[in-house]
Amino acid sequence: MITCHLFLWLAVWTVFSSNQVTDGKRVVVMPMATTSHTKYMVHVAQALARQGHEVWVTIADYIVNKRVLDTTNFTVIELSEFPNNEDFVNSLVEKYFKGQQVDKQILTRNGKEFCDRILGDKSLFEEIKALSPDFFVLNNLPITTMLAIIPYRLGVPFAFVGRLYEPNTQRIPVLHCNIPSYPNGFNHPRNFYKSIAISLDGLSFAVEDPYVYNDAVSRYASEMPFLPMDMLIARAEIWLVETDHILDYPKPTMPNVKLIGGTATGPGKPLPPKFKHFMDDAEEGVVIVSFGSQILSPPTSITQKFLKVLTDLPFKSVFRSNISSPNSDKILTSSWIPQNDLLAHPNTRVFVSHCGKNGQYEALFHAVPVVATPIFGDQFYNAERMRGKGFSETVDLNTVSTDELYTTIVQVATNKSYKQAITKASELFKIEFGVPVEKAAFWLDHVMKYGGDHLRSSGQELPFYQFACLDVYGFFLVCVLLILLTAVCSFYVVCRYIYMKSKIKKD
């Protein structure tokens, strides 16, 4: 009987294994040159490698030198002598702490300069070409979409992975005024004038994308047939968008646009001894504090504010920063922390976070309530969507008092409503998305194996004016104007006829 069961198990395992085997492809992954974006793209690269693909990842040398990323299972293409894009991010952080507004033109210019550096690097292109890649995975951000020119030049299919949900580019037939998004707004209902502004903003973006050069293909691929950038981007086999309808708001998609949640998160791993000992001994609970990889030395006033609060709290704390702890038994400081694994620990009570996308999805996955401290970019949107769903409270680092910060952390840690709300959301998220990086790898493997034609809509083959039916609406408008003109002319002729007839009778 045991032998029969063993043979049955082996048969099932053989069938299952045969379904998992895939023809390995040569894949190049190209993230944005910041630590946070490289982090989740590296997770995708590792998941693809586990499926049997041979993977290369382009990583800037200043990120490689940090040695905070696991680069096993794939080959690094190091971008040497590359301008430090994290210096630009630091400038945005400085503007926040100084109370200054960020000029959107600075963002678009930075994105264009980044792509210009990559696309203009002939030796990098030749190095990638020599790999004979079968597929490209590009970072799905407004400022990196021009990198689609590289696979276009090589005649290789490509996909996008990242946070950008862009109905125009992805040819999703929606009304912009009904889709909450960064930076246009958070919740419904909206007033009429706000809806008009959002609709005009969406239309203007479709007419002219500020993050790309209109002549990008001619500029960087003069040997290739010209394509408008929106038409080239629309050739992607699949978009894997790091959003969902549980943490975020429901959004419509097309078959080749998959909402997958955050690929940076997943089940926790064993903690390094230093962190494990600290966490295991904290029966009263732990507060995790991190403002991201870019902010390790906040202004002194903010640092002192936090140290005062963390000292007074009835919990232990892990504070990601470059400062020295005034009490190492209660406050553990470190310039690097295994954030996902700390959030997975059962003694974690609250996550004080700037609400970057990676950390926010880690908090959701492990059901940890959040005190949000947004600083720039989409972090304000991220913070508001969490607060609106009852997962968090938001404070302004520049203006929050010590007492307010203390009260907010204790409130989120002890009020059961926050934990209950995010626990329910976490359960729903895991049911729907499982481990997001594995879902991402599945879909990328799927389109590498079968292509993406069966997922594409006819709208993704059309220029924007045809997809949006602007030509049809224009025709209707001309018809209406002609009808009105005919009616006015007819009315004028009739009135003229009546007038002339009455005048003749009088004469």
Provide the pLDDT for residue 190.
64
Element (H, E) at 161: strand 158-162
Confidence of residue 183 (pLDDT cuts 50, 70, 90): low
| DSSP assigned state of 445 | H
Cα–Cα distance between 75 and 67 in angstroms, integer? Answer: 15
pLDDT at residue 129 greater than cutoff 70: yes
Cα–Cα distance between 168 and 174 in angstroms, integer? Answer: 9
% residues pLDDT > 90 (the chain): 65
pLDDT at residue 441 greater than cutoff 70: yes
Interval 2-29 mean pLDDT: 54
Confidence of residue 156 (pLDDT cuts 50, 70, 90): very high
**Domains of the chain, with CATH numbers?**
23-265+451-461 (3.40.50.2000), 273-433 (3.40.50.2000)
pLDDT in tens, 348-375: 999 999 999 999 999 999 999 999 999 9
Helices (H) and strands (E) in the chain, counts: 20, 13
Provide the pLDDT for residue 181.
66
Cis peptide preceding 183, ω within 30 of 0: yes
* Tokens 């409503």 sit on residue: 417
pLDDT in tens, 43-78: 999 999 999 999 999 999 999 988 889 898 999 999
Cα–Cα distance between 439 and 324 in angstroms, integer? Answer: 40
Sheet strands (E) in 254-355: 257-259, 286-290, 316-320, 331-334, 348-353
Q: Which has more confidence, 178 or 43?
A: 43
pLDDT in tens, 201-213: 777 777 778 889 9
Give alpha helix (H) positions in 281-354.
300-312, 339-343
Provide the pLDDT for residue 167.
87
Interval 259-278 mean pLDDT: 94
- The string over 333-371, giving b where at least 16 C-beta atoms fall within 10 Å of a residue's C-beta and e elsewhere, is bbeebbbbbbbbbebbbbbbbbbbbbbbbbbbbbbbbbb
Cis peptide preceding 189, ω within 30 of 0: yes
Provide the pLDDT for residue 1.
41
Cα–Cα distance between 159 and 375 in angstroms, integer? Answer: 30
% residues pLDDT > 70 (the chain): 93
pLDDT at residue 20 greater than cutoff 50: no
pLDDT at residue 8 greater than cutoff 80: no
Mean residue pLDDT of the chain comes to: 89
Structure tokens at 444: 């990328």
Going edge to edge, which strands form the sheet with 239-241? 75-79, 54-60, 26-30, 135-139, 158-162, 239-241, 257-259
Q: Please check whether residue 186 is in contact with residue 180, taking contact to mean a CB–CB distance below 8 angstroms.
A: yes
pLDDT at residue 291 greater than cutoff 90: yes
